[in-house]
Structure 1
Amino acid sequence: MKKITMLVLAVLLLAFIPDEALAKTDDWQGERIYFLMVDRFANGDPANDLDADRDDPSAYHGGDFKGITKRLDYIKEMGFTAIWLTPIFENEGKGYHGYWISDFRKAEEHFGTMEEFKTLVKEAHKRDIKVLLDFVVNHTGYQHEWLTDPDKKDWFHEEQEITNWEDQKQLEDNWLYGLPDLDQENAEVRKYLLDTAKWWITETDIDGYRLDTVRHVPKDFWTEFSKEVKSVKKDFFLLGEVWSEDPAYLAEYEKTGIDSFVDYPFYEEASEIFSKLGTSAGPLVDVWKRNEHYYDSPHLLGTFLDNHDNIRFTRKALINQEPPGTRWKLGLTYLFTAPGIPILYYGSEIALDGAEDPDNRRMMDFRADEELIQYIGKLNKIRSAEPALTKGKMEKLYDRNGLTVLKRTYKGETLVTAINNSDQTAEAIIPAAELADDKVLTGLLAGEEAKNKNGEFELVLNRESAEVYKLNEPAGPHWGLISATIGVPVLFIGYLYAAGRRRKKVS
């Protein structure tokens, strides 16, 4: 009787565990990435600050591996499942950003030791956080020792600047902003870069690379690169940077085996739309439709509103004389409910300001207001729980006067995102035929509910606000709760009764 009681109790309790708590994301399509610049995030060890100077925007500021490790719980609590780090390799001079590499197989001393980086990866994995490392193969630092090594004189292309950015040969062979351009067609260079890429995976157990300056390196190199790194770790993820607003051009690199790309066409549209009042989010659906046309895996594209190479989204809002917090909420609502892998640049959660590089790389401040942080946490939780937001189709239901309503559907589940980017309360009338006659829309952010009235759903949103709805069955008796409320006491009484009878028999 006791075993039966425990079994029934277990079954009843499982009825109350949300499906999302039982599910586990097992592909990158469901990840949410927090992108941070190592030097500008958190200072966990002042002993490695060396010549750090926070008053100089072009100098090291003190961020390091230990600082990131100490803040992993902060990242986890916001709901992110992966972190992308700027290059951690040894750099020259004021290479705080990591892109002026002097040694591809050493950790930058300002950031800490190799053992401290390995600890960071291990601690991230304990929290189910994957680690993406920025990897550079196009160039070295300005003063790299190979430049004066006679045995490596043919490791670089001839020094000449890019004068025609439409000329692919110039993009691949000429020096980008004066940085010495490696010749990946040289067998020795190619072998060194491939071996180095595999070495970091073997040594540190990282989960992926964000590949810098992809279009400045020949496609055949990336084809071999993709094959080689995945031979070490088959589920290793490659996120490429092809800085272009032409999706057709960008998508050509998908054929090399690179899994995903940061979606610059999306960024250009989205950052403009959400940084000012009165614009419609509708054009972003067109961006998505183009992606579906050009890419084999459009759901894997990395979507973002700002990064370390562009002025901060907050600055764009301020230029438009708009309150950044409100602008961020609207933009993030779209980012986390639209197709793609959301990428959040560190500091966005506190609306960190910044103009052109290096001002867009200010030191993180952990003492800021938490309202936006909590909002991001909600969005991450919703996205994690709803497969329709990561795998579903997207359709525009309404788009007028700054109010946009979008539908995501997947395996019978429907989510609706409504964004009012206007200066007044707005309503959208959605025919029930677009959703369902016998269901209701339940707000997941503010909790508002919309019912079918006379064959229509009426969505009303305050000015500059957003809501994410789920199409649900109308509220009714919760039979699981009722059965548990009645069944558990009955089973318990039955157990006591049986136990009492056994004692009587013994006596």
Structure 2
Amino acid sequence: MKKRVFYTLILIPFLLFYAQPVGAAEKEEDGWMDEEIYFIMVDRFQNGDQSNDYNVDLSDPRAYHGGDIQGIIDKLDVIEDMGFTSIWLTPIMANEEKGYHGYWIEDFMEVDEHFGTMEDVKRLVREAHDRDMKVIFDFVVNHTGYKHPWLNDSTKQDWFHEESPIIGESQEQLENGWLAGLPDLNQEHPKVRQYLFNAAEFWITETGVDGFRLDTVKHVPKTFWEEFSDHVTSIDPDFFLLGEVWSENPNYIAEYESIGIDSFVDYPFYEAATTAFQTEGNSLKELYTVWERNKAFFEQPHLLGNFLDNHDNKRFTRLALLNEENPVNRWKMALTYMYGAPGIPIVYQGSEYAMDGGEDPDNRRMMNFKVGEEEVKQHIEQLSAIRKEFTALTEGDFERVVDEGAFAVFKRTHGNESVYIAVNNSEETKTATLNDVPEGSQLRGLIYDSIARSTDGAHKIALDRSTADLYVVEEDKGINWLVVIPVVGVMGSFIAFVIYVTRKNRAQT
């Protein structure tokens, strides 16, 4: 273990030195493939300004807990040091009572008083951009808070669909029903549509934010999203739209790509990855099936956002604990696959400390930066450095070269660069013989510091149970005699000295 940590510390600065920087201002659509997103629930992250602690009650999991914009600013260096290039924030708009999560909006063009001021938001974006980090705001257009003033405004009664619960999965029900009883906005109404366009323009022009994560996309008509996309890109041609279409059907999700939404949080990936990695012995087959479907249905499958937990589901640590597994081991293996697979890694706050949490609101606990468990955090730092170094891990193709149920090896290639992702989720050590490595090459394990050289034209790798590694294909330069000879000389001198002392002691006795 000490040896592994030692080489990890050496590897990270080396990779960071040679990594290609990703600047917030140079975004092209494909450029987002290089991003690594840290997802923040503002109220539950860091209390940086106690002067805005209105109605804070740490004993109530459904009340405000004091996190704010200043707290995020205070931790930007920590987020950057982990390797993240973007942050995504839950809605910062003014919410009604107990709307700590941001999704019960009361005013679409005001900052929630619990989070700070507009000047704080502008400063956050500036501070992030100064670090070459991008900022994504969560943006809600489907509904308002339960007690929105418009509900009592006689001139705005037609701004909402008629109150009704969502029954079934018909598109009409999804788009017109009141999700969780929240007043459902009528986006077909010209004034509603224009108001939401104006709100989007307000945040873009006022703050310089780089993108929106679009909430509850499937509950809003496609015609609206098409016009919305056109509107925001007319303001900022590089503006990024990350949609939430909560579905396990990639064909259904991909329908929204064709109307202008750039990317989506990948729920099929989430379902497959959490099922596979939450316990030892589970098959990895579905992971590749997800990729095959994404490749078939999406124009830009490399832009999809991969995640292992979020604020709407049980935390991944809880899934591991329910299976009586060590969460740290589970996290390290799952993250290695997520950072290696096609897509944009999205990490929910606290995952770096293997934070536990059950159903909402238990999955939204206040961040604890003093938990002491650093192993997952260090692993994220290492994976981020590796991902930045090898273009194959961001733009490369993806194929499965070994499939043995709970043990699999995947290969990513871009130009002359190839990286293998080896995952052993089985209950025993596994080996794989790879026959497609070019002659004169070796495989170097980037996480566990191993070398696999050619034997009879093939390369054999071995992985302990419940581990994963990334192997880069590189030129086999053989044994470095310039290093070996001095080491052998020192060892030989030491052995000769020991023999001399031993003989001398014997002679004296």
Common fold, TM-score beyond 0.5? Answer: yes
| 1:398/1:406 contact within 8 Å kept | yes
| 1:280/1:404 contact within 8 Å kept | no
Could you say which residue in structure 2 is the equivalent of 1:49? 53
Could you say which residue in structure 2 is the equivalent of 1:383? 387
How far residue 381 of structure 1 moved from its aligned partner, in angstroms, is 0.5
- Structure 1: gaps (5+ residues): 1-15, 479-507
Could you say which residue in structure 2 is the equivalent of 1:20? 18
User: For the structure 1 residues 185 and 73, does the alpha-carbon distance in structure 2 shift closer, same or farther, using more than 3 Å as the test?
Assistant: same
What is the alpha-carbon distance in structure 2 between the residues aligned to residue 24 and residue 80 of structure 1? Answer: 11
Runs of 4+ in 1 over 6 A off after TM superposition: 16-19
Alignment partner for residue 39 of structure 1, among 34, 43, 54?
A: 43
| 2:284/2:405 contact within 8 Å kept | no
| 1:443/1:449 contact within 8 Å kept | yes
What is the alpha-carbon distance in structure 1 between the residues aligned to residue 332 and residue 161 of structure 2? Answer: 46
1:64 paired with 2:64, answer no
Moved more, 451-460 or 201-210: 451-460
Secondary structure in structure 2 of the residue aligned to 1:68: helix
- Structure 2: gaps (5+ residues): 1-13, 481-509
Could you say which residue in structure 2 is the equivalent of 1:489? none
Could you say which residue in structure 2 is the equivalent of 1:481? none
How far residue 387 of structure 1 moved from its aligned partner, in angstroms, is 0.7
- Name the amino acid aligned to 2:217: V
CA deviations on 1:315-369 (whole Å, 9 max, x unpaired) are 0001111010000001000000000011001000001111100000001110122
Could you say which residue in structure 1 is the equivalent of 2:115? 111
How far residue 423 of structure 1 moved from its aligned partner, in angstroms, is 2.0
What is the alpha-carbon distance in structure 1 between the residues aligned to residue 22 and residue 65 of structure 2? Answer: 37
CA deviations on 1:179-216 (whole Å, 9 max, x unpaired) are 00000000000000001101100000000000000000
What is the alpha-carbon distance in structure 1 between the residues aligned to residue 17 and residue 111 of structure 2? Answer: 42
CA deviations on 1:211-258 (whole Å, 9 max, x unpaired) are 000000000100000010011111110000000111111110111100
- Name the amino acid aligned to 1:407: K
How far residue 20 of structure 1 moved from its aligned partner, in angstroms, is 3.4
What is the alpha-carbon distance in structure 2 between the residues aligned to residue 276 and residue 22 of structure 1? Answer: 36
How far residue 374 of structure 1 moved from its aligned partner, in angstroms, is 0.7
What does residue range 56-455 of structure 1 map to in structure 2 within 5 Å?
Answer: 56-164=60-168, 166-368=169-371, 369-431=373-435, 434-455=436-457
How far residue 18 of structure 1 moved from its aligned partner, in angstroms, is 7.9
| 1:90/1:98 contact within 8 Å kept | yes
Work out the number of aligned pairs and report it.
461
Give the TM-score taking structure 2 as reference length.
Answer: 0.89
CA deviations on 1:136-187 (whole Å, 9 max, x unpaired) are 00000000000000111110000000111x2100110111010000000000
CA deviations on 1:117-142 (whole Å, 9 max, x unpaired) are 11111101111110000000000000
What is the alpha-carbon distance in structure 2 between the residues aligned to residue 22 and residue 291 of structure 1? Answer: 27
| 1:39/1:96 contact within 8 Å kept | yes
What is the alpha-carbon distance in structure 1 between the residues aligned to residue 175 and residue 19 of structure 2? Answer: 47
Give the TM-score taking structure 1 as reference length.
Answer: 0.89
How far residue 443 of structure 1 moved from its aligned partner, in angstroms, is 1.1
| 1:280/1:399 contact within 8 Å kept | no
CA deviations on 1:24-48 (whole Å, 9 max, x unpaired) are 4651011000001000001101111
What is the alpha-carbon distance in structure 2 between the residues aligned to residue 261 and residue 90 of structure 1? Answer: 25
CA deviations on 1:436-462 (whole Å, 9 max, x unpaired) are 121000111121010110122111111
- Name the amino acid aligned to 1:303: N
CA deviations on 1:376-426 (whole Å, 9 max, x unpaired) are 000001111111011111111112152211100001100011111122211
| 2:22/2:34 contact within 8 Å kept | no
How far residue 475 of structure 1 moved from its aligned partner, in angstroms, is 2.6
- Name the amino acid aligned to 1:44: G
Across the aligned residues of Structure 1 and Structure 2, the Cα RMSD in angstroms comes to 1.5
What is the alpha-carbon distance in structure 2 between the residues aligned to residue 239 and residue 421 of structure 1? Answer: 31
What is the alpha-carbon distance in structure 2 between the residues aligned to residue 120 and residue 283 of structure 1? Answer: 39
